[in-house]
Amino acid sequence: MQILPLRTDQERFLKKRTLLRKYEKQKGLFEENIFHPSLNFELLEPKHLQVYSFRIDRKYRALFIFITPELVEIIDVNNHYR
């Protein structure tokens, strides 16, 4: 599994909140095993949109879509509780 590089705005968002290091760690886990327990990988509602998420930390998550079965693109990084 591979994640495409982040867009500049997403990278700035992570840097501003000092989350880039956590993101890189979770990205590594994701690329090794999408079902790693600390990722809390899930399909979001409404399911027909096929948008998934994984946890960066307790507060933030990365939303993504599958481009191919082995390639994903992060479409948003946000506060999980907002």
From the candidate CATH numbers 3.40.640.10, 3.40.50.620, 1.10.1280.10, 3.30.2310.20, the one assigned to the domain spanning 2-79:
3.30.2310.20
Q: Classify 51 in phi/psi space as left (phi over 0), alpha (psi -120 to 50) or beta.
A: beta
pTM of the shown model:
0.91
- What's the pLDDT at 10? 96
Encode pLDDT of 36-57 as tens digits: 999 999 999 999 999 999 999 9
- What's the pLDDT at 46? 95
The average pLDDT across 17-46 equals 96
